[in-house]
Amino acid sequence: MDNTLFTEERQRTKKQYEQYFFYLDSREHRAFLRTIATHITGEKILDLGCGTAGLFEELLITRKKSEQLTLIGIEQSEVIAQKARDKSIPHTTIINAPVCSFDFPQESFDSIIMVSILHELVSSHKLPIIAQLFACLWQALKPGGKLIIHDGFRNDTIVANLQIHNYDKRILLDSFREARPDAYFYPYGAGFVSSLTHIFDFVHKCYYLENWEHEVKEYYYPMSLEAYSLMFGALGCTTLTVKMYPETEHVHEIKKDFSITSLLGAPLELADCNCLLVAQKNGKT
């Protein structure tokens, strides 16, 4: 693939890496990865943006020792890739590269997984690069192979009311609006009206302040569910699973700092905004 448009690897301070590793291997995140692992089938598996490879560790708990597994993780950050390698996970190779530069072999993988990387790719790459990546992924899947994606989804049809109870968060909204002119926030009474996606994108970012400069530019909720399933159809995949669920992290702080309601006052803090999508490449299973 053309690799001229790659963004620089995000650099973190030592403390930020430690916090990130703590999160990636936290009990909650590992429990979440365990549920993703239940969808993985076959023996040759590719994880894009694998982080510290917790997904492979969770997968191995459920697999027989006799299985001839080949587990390949691609991770753009050198520091994070090394942390994954240091775990010496059986059957596992960690490649330190941006996913778009990976030379995907044809019809090789039984499962290809993207957990929380698609929104980062969509935020930092032009659309043709993303389309080209998906074409490569499709070719790299064996017939009957699975593409497993976890990420946020856009919901622009719900318009909501945001009230901000915390002065610092009110200042952050100005910084968010400046960095993201696409996100409208109309003043309404003592608060703002916007689409639920823009509100969630802003509110959920407010708890990752250590990386604010980077996070503010990311589109946490990159595609609508319709766009995901149209993309799968265009690729020649059948959608097997669509699970939607709310963002539960920081929910207590969110309820203290904000009110997010429908225009008629129904609470929306726990409305669905994340999804797990499993699609299968058409062909023999």
Ligand X SMILES: C[S@@+](CC[C@H](N)C(=O)[O-])C[C@H]1O[C@@H](n2cnc3c(N)ncnc32)[C@H](O)[C@@H]1O
Please check whether residue 60 is in contact with residue 34, taking contact to mean a CB–CB distance below 8 angstroms.
no
- 60-21-111 Cα angle (round to 5): 35
Cα(117)–Cα(245) distance, integer angstroms? 17
Cα(246)–Cα(255) distance, integer angstroms? 14
The region of 45-53, 197-205, 247-255, 275-283 touching ligand X under the rule CB under 6 A is 45-53
Binding ligand X by CB under 6 A: which of 37, 44, 45, 51?
51
For ligand X, the closer of residues 31 and 263 by Cβ is 31
For ligand X, the closer of residues 129 and 203 by Cβ is 129
* 102-161: contacts with ligand X (CB under 6 A): 115-117, 120-121
Count other Cβ atoms within 10 Å, centred on residue 167: 8
Binding ligand X by CB under 6 A: which of 37, 46, 60, 80?
80
For ligand X, the closer of residues 20 and 258 by Cβ is 20
For ligand X, the closer of residues 37 and 160 by Cβ is 37
Shortest CB 157 distance to ligand X, Å: 27
191 binds ligand X (CB under 6 A): no
Closest by CA to 206, choosing from 161, 146, 164, 236, is 164
Cα(110)–Cα(280) distance, integer angstroms? 10
Binding ligand X by CB under 6 A: which of 58, 98, 218, 222?
98
- DSSP states of 209-236: GGGHHHHTT--SS-EEHHHHHHHHHHHT
49 binds ligand X (CB under 6 A): yes
x/- letters, 206..225, toward ligand X (CB under 6 A): --------------------
164 binds ligand X (CB under 6 A): no
Q: C-alpha distances in angstroms, 85 versus 6, 74, 258? A: 23, 11, 41
Shortest CB 116 distance to ligand X, Å: 4
Cross-strand bridge partners of residue 239: 279
Q: Which two tokens stand for residue 112?
A: 């290809």
Cα(229)–Cα(225) distance, integer angstroms? 6
Shortest CB 125 distance to ligand X, Å: 8
Cα(170)–Cα(175) distance, integer angstroms? 9
For ligand X, the closer of residues 37 and 80 by Cβ is 80
74 binds ligand X (CB under 6 A): yes
What is the size of the binding site for ligand X (CB under 6 A)? Answer: 17
Amino acid at position 48, single letter: L
Please check whether residue 140 is in contact with residue 1, taking contact to mean a CB–CB distance below 8 angstroms.
no
Cα(67)–Cα(88) distance, integer angstroms? 18
For ligand X, the closer of residues 23 and 246 by Cβ is 23
75 binds ligand X (CB under 6 A): yes
Shortest CB 150 distance to ligand X, Å: 8
41 binds ligand X (CB under 6 A): no
Name the site residues for ligand X (rule: CB under 6 A).
24, 49-51, 54, 74-77, 80, 98-99, 115-117, 120-121
